[in-house]
Chains A and B, each alone.
Chain A
Amino acid sequence: MSIQTIEDTTVKAFPAPAKPAEVIAFTAKARRRFDPIVIAGKLASALVPPAIVIALMLVVWQIACSSPTASLPPPSQVWNEAYDLIAHPFFNNGPQDIGLAWRVLISLQRVAIGFGLAAIVGVALGALVGQSIWAMRGLDPVFQILRTVPPLAWLPLSLAAFRDSSPSALFVIFITSIWPIIINTAVGVRNIPEDYRNVARILRLNQFEFFVKIMVPAAAPYIFTGLRIGIGLSWLAIVAAEMLTGGVGIGFFIWDAWNSSRLPDIIVALAYIGVTGFCLDRLVAAVGAFVTRGTTAK
C-alpha cells in the first residue's frame, strides 16, 4: 500500500517541473563580447607602458645631447629641423625630393620582389632538402656557411654579375632572406608525421599532390617562422643595398643625408625604417596565424 502511494506521487510529480520558465533567463545573462570598457582597458595596458618608456628615453636623450659640444642632435633639434619630413610624409616636389612615406613604399616594392622570389625558391629548395637525405647531406653544409655572409658582402659580387644597380639590390635582398626560409622549411618537412606520409602513400598521391596537399600545409608553421625571419632580414638588407646602388628608397635617403650632414633627417628615417620593419614582421606573423589556424592543434 505504501508503495502504491509513492508511485502515485512520483507519477504526478513528474509533469510539474517539465516547463521551467527560468530557462529564458540564461540568454539575458550572456555577456556582451565587445564591452568598450574592457577594450579600453586592454588598449591602455598595451600602450601606456611603451609610451612611458619612450618618453623617458626622449628625456634622457635630450639631456645627454643638450651641451653645445654634443656630436648628435637632441630630440628638440630633430623636431625643429626635420619638421617637414615628420609632418608631411607624402609631399612630392619632383623626382628626387619626395616624402619619406613614398621612399618607404619604393623600398617596400624592392623588398616585395626580392623577398617574394626568396619565398618561392626558398620553400621549393627547403622541400627538396627536407625530403631527400642526399640533398640534405650535400646542400645543408653549403647553406649553413652561406647564411652567415652579411648582406653588404654580396653587393660587390652582384654588381659585378648584373652590371646594373637595381637587379643587384634585388639580388642582395633575395640572398639575405632566403636562408632561414630554406632551413625552416626543411625542418618542417622533415618533421611531417609518418602517418601523413602513409595516408599519402595509400592514396597514391603523386609528388605534386603530396607537395600541395600534405607537405606545405603540414610544414606551414615552420615555413611561416622562416618567412618571418626572412622578411626581417630582407628589410635589414634594403638599407645596405640602397646605400650603394642609389635611387630614391629610404636606404639611399640615409646615405644622402649623411653626405650632406643632415643628422636630424637620418634620425627620422631610422624611426620610419623601424616602424615599417615592425609592421612587416607583424603582417607576416598575422598571415601565418591565419593560414595555420587549426594545424598546430593535435
Chain B
Amino acid sequence: MTAYLKLDHIDKSFARGNQVSEVLKDIRLTIDKGEFVSIIGHSGCGKSTLLNLIAGLTTVSAGAVLLEDKEVDSPGPERAVVFQNHSLLPWLTVYENINLAVSKVFGRSKSKAERHDWIMRNLDLVQMAHARDKRPAEISGGMKQRVGIARALAMEPKILLLDEPFGALDALTRAHLQDAVMDIHSRLGSTTIMITHDVDEAVLLSDRIVMMTNGPAATIGEVLAVPLARPRRRIELASDRTFLRCREAVLKFLYERHRFVEAAE
C-alpha cells in the first residue's frame, strides 16, 4: 500500500551568496489519509520550512514530496495552509475572504447558490457565520484564526496544513480553538499536519507526533504514536496515564536529549 503523503529523503538548504546553510537533512515520513500529525521542535529547527515544502511554497533541494504518488512542486488549494498570523485580506469581509478562495477553487464546478451555501457551511463549522459581514480588523485574534481555518477548509484540501495556528493567541482562546479543530477533524476526517511548539497541544490533538532535532541540518529525531481514543476531552486527559506518558516522552526528547542551545553564530 502506498502512503497518502510521502516525504522521501528530503534535503533543504538555503544559499546566500557562496554560503550554503543546510536546514533540513534526510527527512523521511509517511502520513496516512485522515491522520492528524504534529511536528514539534525548538525554534529554528526548520519546522516551518518543512511545512512550506509540503505546501509547495518553497522547493526541495533533494528528495521529493509525494501526495498520492504525485510530486508536489508548486503551491495549490489541495494543500491549504492556515497561517500563524491568519493572513486574511483586510480589505475584504469575512465572507468575501472565503469567497475569494471558493470562487477560485469551485468557480466552474459549483453554481453561485451552491458556492454561497458552501461558504456559509464552512463559516458555521467554525461558528463564525454571525460575523460574515465584518472585516478582519473588527474581530478578535481567535475569530480571525477561525476564519483562516474556514478559508482553508473551504478549499476542500487533501491535506490541511496548520502553521503554528494558535501561537499568537491567549491560553483560553487557544483551548477553544483546539477543541474546534478536534471537532472538525472528527467530522471531516481531514488529513492534517500541524506545526507547534506546545507539548500539550501536540499530545491532545495528534495521532502521531514528529519530533525534530535541532538545526542546522535538522532531521526527524523520533515519531511518537499517541494511542488515545477519540473523542478526547482535555479535562479527562489531564490525569490520564497514557496522556501523561506521551507528554513526558515529548518533554524528555525536547529538554533532555535535544536541549535547545543558543546557537553561537
Contact = CB atoms under 8 A, between A and B. Distances in A.
Interface of A: 193, 195-196, 198-199, 201-205, 209, 213-214, 217-218, 220, 292, 294-295, 297-298
Interface in B85-110: 85, 87, 89-91, 100-101, 104-105
Interface of B: 55-57, 74-77, 79-81, 83, 85, 87, 89-91, 100-101, 104-105, 135, 137, 155
Contact of B87 (A199, A217, A220, A294): A199
Contacts of A199: 83, 87, 89
19 contacts: A195-B85, A199-B83, A199-B87, A199-B89, A202-B77, A202-B79, A202-B80, A203-B77, A203-B100, A203-B105, A204-B75, A218-B89, A218-B91, A220-B91, A294-B90, A294-B91, A295-B90, A297-B135, A297-B137
A289 to B, nearest CB: 13
Determine chain B's interface SS by DSSP, over half rule.
Answer: loop
B254 to A, nearest CB: 28
Given A203-B105, A204-B77, A213 B100 contact: yes
Contacts of A203: 77, 100-101, 104-105, 155
Most buried by B among A193, A220, A292, A297: A297
Given A201-B75, A202-B81, A203-B101, 8 more contacts: A201-B57, A202-B57, A202-B76, A202-B155, A213-B100, A294-B137, A297-B137, A298-B137
Determine chain A's interface SS by DSSP, over half rule.
Answer: helix
B90 A204 contact: no
Nearest to A202: B75
Contact of A214 (B76, B89, B135, B155): B89
Contacts of A195: 83, 85, 87
A214 B90 CA distance: 10
A173 to B, nearest CB: 30
A294 B83 CA distance: 21
Most buried by A among B57, B104, B135: B104
- What are the 3 tightest A-B residue pairs by CB atom distance, in nearest-first order? A297-B137, A195-B87, A295-B91
Nearest to B96: A213
A198 B86 CA distance: 12
Most buried by A among B55, B56, B75, B135: B75
Contacts of B135: 294, 297
Given A204-B75, A294-B137, A298-B137, A198 B87 contact: yes
Nearest to B86: A195
A198 B87 CA distance: 9
Most buried by A among B57, B89, B91, B137: B91
A298 B83 CA distance: 15
Nearest to A206: B104
Given A198-B57, A198-B75, A297-B137, A204 B87 contact: no
A135 B260 CA distance: 44
A205 B104 contact: yes
Contact of A298 (B77, B80, B90, B155): B90
A194 to B, nearest CB: 9
Most buried by B among A217, A294, A298: A294
Contacts of B104: 203-205, 209
A198 B100 contact: no
Contact of B91 (A202, A204, A217): A217
